[in-house]
Amino acid sequence: MQVLHVCSEMFPLLKTGGLADVIGALPAAQIAGGVDTRVLLPAFPDIRRGVTDAQVVTRRETFAGRITLLFGHFNGVGIYLIDAPHLYDRPGSPYHDTNQHAYTDNVLRFALLGWVGSEMACGLDPFWRPDVVHAHDWHAGLTPAYLAARGHPAKSVFTVHNLAYQGMFYSWHMNDIELPWSFYNVHGLEFNGQISFLKAGLYYADHITAVSPTYAREITEPQFAYGMEGLLR
pLDDT digits (tens, 9 = 90+) for 143-188: 999 999 999 999 999 999 999 999 999 999 999 999 999 999 999 9
Q: Helix, strand, coil % (nearest 5) of the chain? A: 35, 25, 40
Residues 10-56: pLDDT tens digits? 999 999 999 999 999 999 999 999 999 999 999 999 999 999 999 99
Distance CA 194, CA 170 (A): 5
Alpha carbon distance 62, 60 (integer Å): 6
**3-class DSSP assignment, residue 17:** coil
Q: Please give the pLDDT value at position 203.
A: 97
Check pLDDT > 80 for residue 233: no
Topology given in CATH for the domain delimited by 2-39+106-232: Rossmann fold (3.40.50)
How far is Cα 39 from Cα 211, in angstroms, rounded to an integer?
18
- pLDDT for position 208: 97
Cis, bond preceding 27 (omega within 30 deg of 0): no
| Res. 230 pLDDT band, cuts 50 70 90 | confident
Question: For the whole model, what pTM was predicted?
Answer: 0.97
CA distance 172 to 55: 36
Give the Cα-Cα-Cα angle 131, 160, 67 (nearest 5 degrees): 55
**Is the pLDDT confidence value at 231 over 90?**
no
Nearest to 209 by CA among 168, 173, 155: 155
